[in-house]
Structure formats: structure tokens, C-alpha cells
Structure 1
């Protein structure tokens, strides 16, 4: 669906396809009763869950386990003034099942900063939204030459 503001809403499948190709995202969670945003590398499970791999004793692990979080990834091309943004909102949980942990150790994301003891955090995609900037710089639906 196109709107008159130069953005197009993305459906769930488009969002997940774009996420699968993004190397970095941002997890949005609550830290000391305030919003916190942390850039992270990640992976997607076949069911669309966002997967993070982090230190078992990290502040992030303790803050997000059992909490509702948001996860955002995007891509921007400044030359063409185009891009996209996808947000996944859902419950986060540390993976505790040993078989699931073993599977994710083989197939899941690799930590860019390995720790002696790592866990996987799964964000279940309860709400997946996204939009694409398709018009570049526009004013009242007319493209402005730069």
C-alpha cells in the first residue's frame, strides 16, 4: 500500500525477508525503568523469531528475559534517499531447552564479542511492521530535484 507521504507499508513476509538480510539491528528494552536501545548482531529462525546470542551474565540478558521488547533493523541509501525500516515487537526469553540451545549453537547467530558462557535470546514476533521510503525527497507528491 502506498500513501501520499512517500512511504509504503510492508507486509509481514516482506519485513521478514528484509530482516534476514540485515547484519545489525537494535533491541529496545527497559533498563532501570527507562527505555534503552542497544545495537546487536542477530539472526532469524525459520519461524520468524529474532535470535540474539549474548553473555549469560550480561545486563541485557537479565533485562529482557520474560519482557516485551522491540527489535528494529533498517537500511538507508542516502544517494537515492530511499530505504526501509522493520520493527518486531514481542516477548523475549532466554532459551533454556538444552536441545534448542544445541541447535542454535549450530545454526543461530554468532556473537561478535564471544563470552565464556553464552545464551540465546528469542524474540517471538507478535507484531511485525515495516515501511519503505519509496519516493525520496518529495513535497506534496512532487519529487524535488537535488
Structure 2
């Protein structure tokens, strides 16, 4: 008998709900005309992905209203189960004072020392997600 994986395609609300359960994802952007991926702390705020950073390539990318991707997941290799969500959308630097005050209160301590004074919003224009359920052993 062979175990069969159960793959579930997730809708937008399920994807955003799962993103709210984790704190680290991967930002996918272009740097020096090449793809780049960096782990980032994030939050979902008003159905947008918000990243807090110090600057550098991520900030430069976001300041230009650039389209980028973001991905987060939670996987269990022992159970061969988990989920993955990918977001694609325009990134913008948050500059409105009221919005900055609102988003800044939702952050835990950064994993990296130093100031993290910039907030980037990714507008969720396209979101896809998959959940892989624990294999089910067929009954005879």
C-alpha cells in the first residue's frame, strides 16, 4: 500500500489567515538585475503584508512601487505535511504618519540588532496557497 498525499488549494482568505500565524517569510525581489531572496519578519495588516527593515536593497526596491513576491510556509518533514503561501504585489514605502503609528505597534523585537525604522507594504494583488495534508493510508 502507498500513502497518498492530500493537496488542498487554498483561497485568498485561507492564505491570509495562514500568513497571520507565522512571523518570518521570504521577500523575493530584483537586485542588480538578478533575483534575490531574503528572510524577513512581517505582519499581515489590513490584508497587506508589512515588512519592517533598516534599509538597503529591500527598501530601495519598495521605494519604487515595484512588483515583488513574498512567500511564507510552515512545513513538517516528519509528517510530510504543511502549507505554503505566495503573495505577488506592488511594494510601497509607508510614509503616512497615522499608518506608521498603526503598524509600528504590532511588532515584536527584531531578530537582528540595529534600528528598523522603515515599513514596507506589499499590496496583495495575487495570492496562491497550497496545504499538504498528512498522508492517508488506503484501507483494503
Q: What's the TM-score, normalizing by structure 2?
A: 0.85
Query: After TM superposition, what 4+ stretches of structure 1 lie above 6 angstroms from structure 2?
Result: none
Choose 99-108 or 26-35, whichever is displaced more. 99-108
Show the 5 A alignment for 1:24-43: 24-43=24-43
**Is contact 1:8–1:131 with CA below 8 Å preserved after alignment?**
yes
- Per the alignment, residue 20 of structure 2 pairs with 20
**Is contact 1:51–1:108 with CA below 8 Å preserved after alignment?**
no
**Is contact 2:73–2:82 with CA below 8 Å preserved after alignment?**
yes
**Is contact 2:85–2:127 with CA below 8 Å preserved after alignment?**
yes
Q: Matched residue pairs, number?
A: 134
Show the 5 A alignment for 1:115-130: 115-116=114-115, 118-130=117-129
- Per the alignment, residue 79 of structure 2 pairs with 80
Cα RMSD of the aligned pairs, angstroms, is 2.1
For structure 1, which runs of at least 5 residues remain unmatched after alignment? Answer: 137-141
Q: Displacement of 1:128 after TM fit?
A: 1.0
- Per the alignment, residue 111 of structure 1 pairs with 110
- Per the alignment, residue 101 of structure 1 pairs with 100
Once residues 25 and 36 of structure 1 are traced to their aligned partners in structure 2, the CA distance between those partners, rounded to angstroms, is 14
Q: Displacement of 1:5 after TM fit?
A: 7.0
SS of the counterpart of 1:131? strand
The answer to whether residue 51 in structure 2 is matched with residue 52 in structure 1 is yes
Q: Displacement of 1:107 after TM fit?
A: 2.7
Once residues 119 and 17 of structure 1 are traced to their aligned partners in structure 2, the CA distance between those partners, rounded to angstroms, is 24
Once residues 50 and 118 of structure 1 are traced to their aligned partners in structure 2, the CA distance between those partners, rounded to angstroms, is 16
Show the 5 A alignment for 1:128-143: 128-134=127-133, 136=135, 143=137
**Is contact 2:5–2:133 with CA below 8 Å preserved after alignment?**
no
Q: Displacement of 1:110 after TM fit?
A: 4.7
